[in-house]
Amino acid sequence: MSDATSWVYGIHACQSALEQHPDRVREIVFLKGRQDQRIQRLLDLAKGQGARFRWLAREEFDRLLNRNDMQDARHQGVLVQTLAAPVLDEGDLESLVAGLDRPALLLVLDGVTDPHNIGACLRSCDAAGADAIIVPKDKSASLTPTAVKIASGAADTVPFVVVTNLARTLEALKQQGVWIYGTAGEAEASIYQTDLTGSVAIVMGAEGAGLRRLTRDTCDGLFKLPMAGQVSSLNVSVAAGVCLFEAVRQRLG
């Protein structure tokens, strides 16, 4: 395991860090004067696990935020320093897919650079039971503290895979029997006409830009979400939730 550490902030993300991976927690920092029931539950959890914690006055707390480039963090009075969440690579992904005893459900994000969207997509993946989220190494957001905060614990439960060459990774997934479906507003087929019951990877591009050409060309097929209103597209995290749960609906049906 890497010795690199990162900061997690916010009640839900910090609680998840303590509950899911207490072995990775290095210390908890509480803001003096913030002592409501939710903070007390975190404090009790920390004490019960024997975790190191301390209280900082506002000025010291703010200095800690500034030193770690978290000036705008919505911290809710608590920070957790933890060993960085493991980031998987192409080899890990191959092993993960090979080890599944059910059809794979993967979400691939092509060029999504907003960490808020990464965090929201992680939440959707967790809720839908997706097996992993895959992003390219370049021109993509990563597991930043903001993404972890927005994920509300899902960063600890959903494997996060960073690959060097996305098109090559998609081709490798095909060799493992995974069908690759890209989302595109101009596609002829609707998601509701697409069979998502087998092993599938749903590939989504950034809002506006969409899929890169090479990524699009690598897909086995494209589908769209029917849009009945005036807007032409959905935020990528909203669209991801719709797509993932359509796959869930089909598999339960």
Residues 6+ apart with CB under 8 A from 252: none
What would the two tokens of residue 142 be?
């990563």
- Given a cut of 70, is residue 230 above it in pLDDT? no
Stretch among 76-85, 108-117, 157-166, 234-243 having the lowest mean pLDDT: 76-85
Task: Count CB neighbours of 106 within 10 A.
Answer: 25
* Distance from C-alpha of 47 to C-alpha of 37, rounded to nearest angstrom: 15
In this predicted structure, the answer to whether residue 2 has a pLDDT above a threshold of 80 is: no
Residue 119 pLDDT class (50, 70, 90 cuts): very high
Residues 6+ apart with CB under 8 A from 146: 73, 115, 116, 119
Residue 187 banded pLDDT, cuts 50, 70, 90? confident
Work out the pLDDT band at 3, boundaries 50, 70, 90. Answer: low
List 106's β-bridge partners, or say none.
132, 201
pLDDT above 50 (res 1) = no
pTM above 0.85, yes or no: no
What proportions of the chain, in percent to the nearest 5, are helix, strand and coil?
Answer: 40, 20, 35
| Beta carbons within 8 Å of 60's beta carbon, 6+ residues apart | none
What's the average model confidence in pLDDT over 207-219?
88
pLDDT at position 201 is: 98
Please, what are the domains in the chain?
5-83 (3.30.1330.30), 90-252 (3.40.1280.10)
